[in-house]
Amino acid sequence: MRLCVVFFVGLCLPLVAWASGLLIPDHGPALRLQGSNTIGAALGPALIRGLMEDQGLLKVSAEITGRDNEQRVVGQTADGRRVQIDIAAHGSSTGFAALKQGSADLAASSRPIKDSELKELSSLGDLKSPTAEQVIAIDGLAIILHPQNPLRQLDTGQLARIFSGEAKTWEMVGSVGGPIHLYARDEQSGTYDTFKELVLNRQGKRLDPTARRFESSEQLSDSVSQDPQGIGFIGLPYVRQAKALAIIDGYSQPMLPLSPLIATEDYPLSRRLFFYLPSRETNPWAAALVEFTQSDKGQAIVAANGFIAQTVQAMAVTPNALMPEGYQALSRHAQRLTVNFRFEEGSASLDSKAHHDLGRVLDYIRKHGKTERRVTLVGFGDAKDDPARADLLSKLRAMAVRRELVKHGVTLREVRGFGALMPVAANNEDEGRIRNRRVEVWVY
């Protein structure tokens, strides 16, 4: 289920300014956040508390509403006035529905907005623009088992067969244990939407109707960890006592849902978590929350809640024989940054996340004194009939990032293209090809 967090602003009510410069209503919530349960269960409330405290509010605390998956966060101004923000976490689709109905100021989603939703919400501005579509964190869908299950890895094709009910026993996927018991999030969930898109739809499958469905991520995870024959999918912070599998997609290497692989979105079941901010009649509290979330303080809260922050760090990469020689040499002498630049579908333009990442990478380069020939860009692409064309396109993508860095005073050491080598996803679907079209940043 997707967690939709919606802030209710009450624009028809009288608004009063206070020391922070933000406006608060005389009555009712200052903001409503609605949408993804993945975001709204804990991350959304934590970010809201952080914003309120950053704004100087006192006695910030959570209140129970008595309704499942809903809560409010309240604070108090220095002169004793109450500030309230309401959160409803019933699934990503409910956030977009609330924006359409005018009952939400900000939508939280654990999957990208759909074309149909984009069209329905066009009156709110272009929700795919970099200012409206805000990637707030990276998450990974973990495939979880009972801790004693001996299975170590599965590919996405096997996952589709399992969750569609075609593979009914563990023996059919190379393990032991008899009948497989399926656990899945409910229909409103962004987690389910992501799993359906990345696994089931790509194999032309549908979820087995016998799967047990859950609105709560925690309950699903705990149920799998108590069932020796169980398997489920869940957001990374909710693995809890279960065992996570390594996943293979196409010709990729087996990858566990580890932080560096999720941060770069190389892990096959990684996903972005979003706030969608209307660009017309924007609630100032919604805009403030988005700005706070993208700050260092906000990203620290993201990390503290078990998700992957977008803070740029350098990481060592161990060379292995499956890497091309040039890449092995690079990994022996340089470190890779925990960000990949990706592009809009069918375009050489950076996507919405890449626009924000550009600023983060520039900050890292400047702070660490790497503006002069200390940075190498490495481009990759999807397979083409002509390998030379794949090599050229991968280098051209890296050159597109180079142009942006050069504008801000960075002199590159090298720009390389490795074509369709080292895929991180299958190339037979648009989603996989987009993931393979990426640019890595390496620093010396």
Domain range annotation of the chain: 3-134+272-304, 139-263, 314-443
pLDDT the model gives residue 51:
98
**Structural contact between residues 50 and 29, judged by C-beta atoms closer than 8 angstroms:** no
Q: Does 3.40.50.720 match the CATH number of domain 3-134+272-304?
A: no
139-263 with 314-443: one CATH topology? no
Region 298-303: what's the mean pLDDT? Answer: 97
Residue whose structure tokens are 């180079």: 402
Give the strand pairing for 246-248 and 153-155. parallel
**pTM reported for the whole predicted model:** 0.81
pLDDT by residue (tens digit) across 317-373? 999 998 999 999 999 999 999 999 998 776 678 888 998 899 999 999 999 999 999
Q: Is 10's pLDDT higher than 80? A: no
Is residue 75 within a helix (H) or strand (E), and if so which, with residue range? strand 70-76
Region 60-81: what's the mean pLDDT? Answer: 94
Q: Which CATH number fits domain 314-443: 3.40.50.300, 3.30.1330.60, 3.40.50.720, 3.20.20.60?
A: 3.30.1330.60
CA distance 226 to 147: 9
pLDDT by residue (tens digit) across 28-51? 999 999 999 889 989 999 999 999
Give the strand pairing for 335-341 and 438-443. antiparallel
**pLDDT tier at 5 (50, 70, 90 boundaries)?**
very low
More confident residue, 230 or 38: 230
Q: Compute φ and ψ for 240, nearest 5 degrees.
A: 55, -120
Q: Compute φ and ψ for 198, nearest 5 degrees.
A: -80, -25
Q: Is 102's pLDDT higher than 80? A: yes
**Structural contact between residues 41 and 72, judged by C-beta atoms closer than 8 angstroms:** no
Give the strand pairing for 243-244 and 133-145. antiparallel
pLDDT by residue (tens digit) across 362-410? 999 999 999 999 999 999 988 887 888 889 999 999 999 999 999 999 9
CA distance 349 to 346: 9
34 contact partners, CB below 8 Å, separation of at least 6: 4, 5, 6, 40, 87, 88, 89, 90, 94, 95, 98, 103, 104, 106, 107, 108
Question: 139-263, which class in CATH?
Answer: alpha beta
